[in-house]
């Protein structure tokens, strides 16, 4: 059984403890810190499902988790012997706060600055928008146990079944493919590959100029460094193990929707993209830059995405 995390993207729970400074873009990142229950548990390769308390927003796979340190103001109950953080401001009644632990009432909580560990996922590659596909009531029932936490454990298989039941099977297949790509023995390599991303991209830009390897010249601002060595037998860093790709092309390449056919060295575009002329037109064309030196990596990519 694969682990999935139902995480609250917005809503009351996110203000608990004063979560200033979160920068969530549901399709790309999710941030939390060590004051949140389950904070240490999500791992690279796990499924992440974001919701807004009313319904599902989308599903992805965690590619990377960055950790850091930060200072944070924590607010606690000021009553003698309590010190818990279980209270929210009341809309009408005064005093403003009533502690759910000791039932004491107060207007001014104790404030204490403490150091916390911060966590931030990267999960843009496999993101599938599933806005409104499942209501909050169903998502709550899918969790392993009842909870009010902003990070809740569930089984990916159960979530898949529920999504299939409402007819979003194609999106589920994309997410599951991405999960297998990231977890299929590549877990550590994906993390390592992301180290030094900015430097790697700068080197590729210097070497090739502002050219998408598959589609041709493009402004540098839309070009990303695609790592090929997560597909290699060993994880050694090597410039030939990277391609500059336009951001949208990069994502389709990571998912295997665009690949290089080892037999012809031409681009191969999945029939699923036939409805999109700009992508369909790439099928059968030669890449915009010579890729001989990256051949072994591209063959491994092909083998992983097209040989079954
Ligand atoms: Zn209290």
**Number of domains the chain contains:** 2
Residues 38 and 149 in one domain: yes
Neighbours of ion ligand 1 (CB under 5 A): 77, 79, 82, 99, 101-102, 104
**Is-contact 126 50, C-beta < 8 A?**
no
Residue 11 lies in a domain: yes
Residue 183 lies in a domain: no
CATH of the domain at 147: 3.10.590
Residue 109 lies in a domain: no
Residue 286: domain span: 196-306
End-to-end CA distance of the chain: 23
Residue 137 lies in a domain: yes
Residues 257 and 151 in one domain: no
- Close Cβ partners of 120 (under 8 Å, ≥ 6 residues apart): 29, 30, 31, 65, 66, 67, 68
Residues 202 and 157 in one domain: no
Residues 129 and 16 in one domain: yes
Nearest to 251 by CA among 193, 192, 174, 196: 174
Residue 276 lies in a domain: yes
Cα of 80 vs centre of ligand 1, distance in Å, is 8
Distance between CA atoms of residues 85 and 109, nearest Å: 9
Model confidence at 41, pLDDT cuts 50, 70, 90, reads very high
**Is-contact 62 43, C-beta < 8 A?**
yes
Residues 133 and 222 in one domain: no
**Is-contact 136 53, C-beta < 8 A?**
yes
Cα of 249 vs centre of ligand 1, distance in Å, is 54
Distance between CA atoms of residues 291 and 85, nearest Å: 57
Cα of 76 vs centre of ligand 1, distance in Å, is 8
As to burial, measured by CB atoms within 10 angstroms (0-12 exposed, 13-18 middle, 19+ buried), residue 239 is exposed
Residues 42 and 148 in one domain: yes
pLDDT of 191 strictly over 80: no
The rounded radius of gyration (Å) of the Cα atoms in the chain is: 23
Residue 226 lies in a domain: yes
Q: State the pLDDT at residue 282.
A: 97
Residues 124 and 249 in one domain: no
Residues 202 and 287 in one domain: yes
Q: State the pLDDT at residue 211.
A: 96
Least confident of 66-75, 107-116, 288-297: 66-75
Residues 13 and 161 in one domain: yes
Q: pLDDT tens-digit profile of 216-264?
A: 999 999 998 887 755 444 444 455 678 899 999 988 887 788 999 999 9
Edge to edge, the sheet with strand 3-8 lists: 128-129, 56-61, 47-51, 3-8, 151-155
Q: Would the CA dihedral through 131, 132, 133, 136 be positive or negative? A: positive
């Amino acid at each position: 059984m694969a682990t999935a995390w139902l995480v609250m993207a917005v809503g009351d729970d996110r203000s608990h403890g004063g979560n200033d400074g979160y920068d969530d873009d549901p399709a790309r990142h999710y941030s939390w810190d060590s004051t949140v229950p389950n904070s240490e548990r999500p791992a690279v390769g796990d499924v992440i499902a974001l919701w807004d308390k009313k319904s599902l927003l989308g599903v992805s796979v965690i590619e990377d988790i960055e950790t850091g340190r930060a200072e944070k103001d924590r607010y606690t109950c000021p009553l003698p012997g309590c010190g818990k953080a279980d209270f929210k401001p009341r809309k009408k009644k005064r005093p403003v706060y009533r502690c759910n632990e000791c039932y004491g009432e107060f207007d001014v909580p104790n404030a204490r600055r403490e150091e916390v560990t911060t966590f931030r996922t990267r999960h843009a590659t496999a993101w599938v928008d599933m806005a409104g596909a499942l209501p909050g009531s169903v998502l709550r029932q899918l969790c392993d146990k009842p909870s009010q936490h902003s990070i809740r454990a569930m089984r990916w298989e159960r979530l898949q079944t529920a999504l299939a039941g409402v007819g979003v099977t194609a999106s589920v297949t994309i997410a599951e493919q991405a999960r297998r790509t990231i977890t299929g023995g590549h877990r550590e390599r994906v993390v390592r590959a992301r180290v030094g991303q900015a430097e790697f991209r700068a080197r590729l830009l210097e070497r090739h100029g502002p050219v998408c390897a598959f589609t041709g010249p493009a402004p540098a601002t839309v070009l990303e460094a695609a790592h090929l060595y997560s597909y290699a037998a060993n994880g050694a860093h090597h410039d030939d193990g990277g391609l500059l790709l336009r951001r949208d092309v990069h994502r389709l390449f990571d998912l295997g929707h665009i690949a290089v056919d080892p037999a012809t060295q031409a681009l191969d575009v999945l029939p699923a993209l036939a409805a999109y002329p700009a992508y369909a037109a790439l099928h059968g064309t030669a890449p915009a830059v010579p890729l001989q030196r990256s051949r072994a990596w591209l063959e491994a990519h092909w083998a992983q995405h097209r040989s079954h």
